Amino acid sequence: MRGLRRLPLPLLRPPAHVELSLRINDEDHALLVDTRLTLLDLLRETLGLTGAKKGCDHGQCGACTILVNGHRINSCLALAVAHDGDVLVTVEGLADHGELDPLQSAFVDRDALQCGYCTPGQLCSAAGMLATEADRPSFVTGDLSGPPGPLDDDEIRERMSGNICRCGAYVNIVRAIADVAG
Amino acid sequence: MKPFAYDRPASPADAVAALAGGSAQARYLGGGTNLVDLMKLGVETPDLLVDVSRLSRDTIAPTPDGGLLIGAGVSNTELAADPAVRRRYPVLARAILSGASGQLRNQATIAGNLLQRTRCSYFQDVSKPCNKRRPGSGCPARAGHHRELAILGHSTACVATHPSDMAVAMTALDARVRLLGPRGERTIPLSELYRLPGDQPDRETRLEPGELITAVELPPLPAAASSEYRKVRDRASFAFALVSVAAVLEIADGRVRESRIALGGVAPVPWRASRAERALRGAPANEQSFARAAAAELDLARPLPDNAFKVTLAGNLLVQTLLELSLA
């Protein structure tokens, strides 16, 4: 074997795994996850909850929006390991025992979708926005010192700008959310 | 994404120790909205993430001198919604609300916002040369796509812009950052956190290796109650600034008593417009003075062929913002 040089071992790092507990749509999960796994991939690939969608996978489209401890976030940019103990709600968890959430009903009534790919993200985003952010100003609120007042179309559009709809169903999405925002 | 180890220490001191025990590739993890994205792109390849996202996430408190102390882990949403910030530093609340989306602001931390990386397309594409990502490999932006890039403070080696809105407002407010590192604690002005690229665009901050931002301090600035943030971008929402202006304006007897101005989207750092501020001191609070101040600052601009529009845009936006504040 003289003359043959020994090749260096490839510098591969072994995957690391971490134990994790999550409450997802009112169900407790004890999991062992690769540290690289995002919440989105955990939901879709490991748990079969395919409601949250992978659009851009870079936080630019909002199709992956879910609620974490009541707040809307992009699950594609959230590492699962960083969410130990958190409470998650996905679009599968919005309805209450088969009874549609008011936002879901409004989206049906207002025909607020075309292909439907962005809809789970739109619904979770609107749910989080109405539940935790409606009493706070947005970029388009004139006077930041007080509460924003009832959400008009401009406010809804600004607050929902993290959810892209390539079909362009925005007009009816705004109407549906306005129905529920009252 | 490359495999990495994960640690979630219980205190900032433990976090500093954990990072010091790792390699030069180890990184602190805040909200992850930028870092996780860069890991997917292969721009960042940490072998260890030290999760600091749950540390000092609830602190927004008055300081003894009447300013405000903001924990590094506070979310962008919470800071923008804070009643004291909205009333006393509206420029900061508006700047934060102008950035990213509702989802990202819920996730992103204050320290992560300050330390986010440029969105220059060459920096984010590992198949391209980039002096910031791979020192000495070159900068294709000058001869390539640079419409969004810098007109001030850039160098031959790098024309990237700092992407933050929040940091622009904090720069105008003379914010200070508290740091904890292997060699102890220190507090520095935010303006000294960032460094211009020169011939070392890979060195973006003056952080020592392993240093962690633990808090941001705002000084008590009564004048900041009259302040505003204006931003121009390619779409009405959820886009980075082409140009932005953070301004504080105090007028007495028709003349400018004090002004604080920073520009965003135009430089590798949040750009404090010191020349404009000097030109305004004592000047009549009118459009002519504002235009002269804008010209004094933008005289420094060295635009590239496709971003020369930013010089005009920045001047117009600055004059409009000051006019708006002077009439309020």
Q: How does DSSP assign A81-139, residue by residue?
A: GGGTT-EEE-GGGTSBTTBPPHHHHHHHHTT--SS-TTHHHHHHHHHHHHHHTTTS--T
Instruction: Report which of B34, B35, B63, B62 is spatially closest to residue B49, judged by C-alpha positions.
Output: B35
- Please indicate, yes or no, if residue B15 is contained in any of the structural domains: yes
Contact A74 B104 (CB under 8 A): yes
- Please indicate, yes or no, if residue A177 is contained in any of the structural domains: yes
Mean pLDDT, rounded, for B169-175: 98
Instruction: Report which of B173, B145, B178, B149 is spatially closest to residue B163, judged by C-alpha positions.
Output: B149
Q: For the whole model, what pTM was predicted?
A: 0.97
Q: Does B150 touch chain A (CB under 8 A)?
A: no
Closest chain B residue by Cα to residue A70? B106
Mean pLDDT, rounded, for B58-67: 95
Instruction: Report which of B226, B213, B182 is spatially closest to residue B114, judged by C-alpha positions.
Output: B213
Whether B36 contacts B44, CB under 8 Å: no
Handedness of CA A29, A104, A75, B115 (dihedral sign): negative
For B283, the domain range is 226-327
Backbone angles phi, psi at B189, to 5 degrees: -60, 145
* CATH number assigned to the domain comprising residue B31: 3.30.43.10
- Please indicate, yes or no, if residue A81 is contained in any of the structural domains: yes
* CATH number assigned to the domain comprising residue B282: 3.30.390.50
Structural domain total, chain A:
2
Q: Are residues A145 and A89 in the same domain?
A: no
Predicted-complex ipTM score: 0.96
Whether the per-residue pLDDT at B139 is higher than 70: the answer is yes
Instruction: Report which of B15, B12, B216 is spatially closest to residue B115, judged by C-alpha positions.
Output: B216
- Please indicate, yes or no, if residue B239 is contained in any of the structural domains: yes
Q: What is the three-class DSSP state of B187? A: strand
pLDDT at A11: 63
DSSP strand pairing (B48-51 vs B27-29) = parallel
- Please indicate, yes or no, if residue B131 is contained in any of the structural domains: no
Closest chain A residue by Cα to residue B98? A139
Q: Does A29 touch chain B (CB under 8 A)?
A: no
Contact B77 A133 (CB under 8 A): yes
Q: Are residues A87 and A124 in the same domain?
A: no
Contact B32 A77 (CB under 8 A): yes
Mean pLDDT, rounded, for B86-106: 98
pLDDT at A13: 84
Q: What is the pLDDT of residues B117-129, one digit of tens each?
A: 999 999 999 999 9
pLDDT at B303: 98
What is the C-alpha to C-alpha distance for residues A147 and A158, in angstroms, rounded to an integer?
A: 16
Structural domain total, chain B:
2
CB hemisphere CA count around B117 (13 angstroms)? 21
- pLDDT per residue, tens digit, chain A (182 aa), is 556 676 666 567 899 999 999 999 999 999 999 999 999 999 999 999 999 999 999 999 999 999 999 999 999 999 999 999 999 999 999 999 899 999 999 999 999 999 999 999 999 999 999 999 999 999 999 999 999 999 999 999 999 999 999 999 999 999 999 999 98
CB nearest A139 (choices: B6, B37, B98):
B98
Q: Report CA-CA distances (Å) from A130 to A65, A88, A136, A145.
A: 14, 17, 10, 20
- Please indicate, yes or no, if residue A11 is contained in any of the structural domains: no
pLDDT band for B14, please (50, 70, 90 cuts): very high
Rounded to 5°, the CA angle B17-B21-B22 comes to: 125
For A126, the domain range is 102-181
pLDDT at B56: 87
Mean pLDDT, rounded, for B27-34: 98
pLDDT at B238: 98
Mean pLDDT, rounded, for B40-57: 96
Q: Are residues A109 and A59 in the same domain?
A: no
- Please indicate, yes or no, if residue A136 is contained in any of the structural domains: yes
How many angstroms separate the CA of residue A27 from the nearest CA in chain B? Answer: 23
pLDDT band for B58, please (50, 70, 90 cuts): confident
Mean pLDDT, rounded, for B288-302: 98
What is the C-alpha to C-alpha distance for residues B312 and B328, in angstroms, rounded to an integer?
A: 24
pLDDT at B328: 86
Q: Report CA-CA distances (Å) from A2 to A5, A6, A7, A157.
A: 8, 10, 14, 72
* CATH number assigned to the domain comprising residue A169: 1.10.150.120
Chain A contact set for B237 (CB, 8 A): 139, 157-158, 161
CB nearest B101 (choices: A82, A84, A161):
A161
Mean pLDDT, rounded, for B203-217: 98
pLDDT at A10: 59
Q: Could you say which of A93, A125, A157 is where a domain stops?
A: A93
pLDDT at A2: 58
What is the C-alpha to C-alpha distance for residues B318 and B101, in angstroms, rounded to an integer?
A: 25
Tokens of A34: 């690769």
Average pLDDT score over chain B: 98
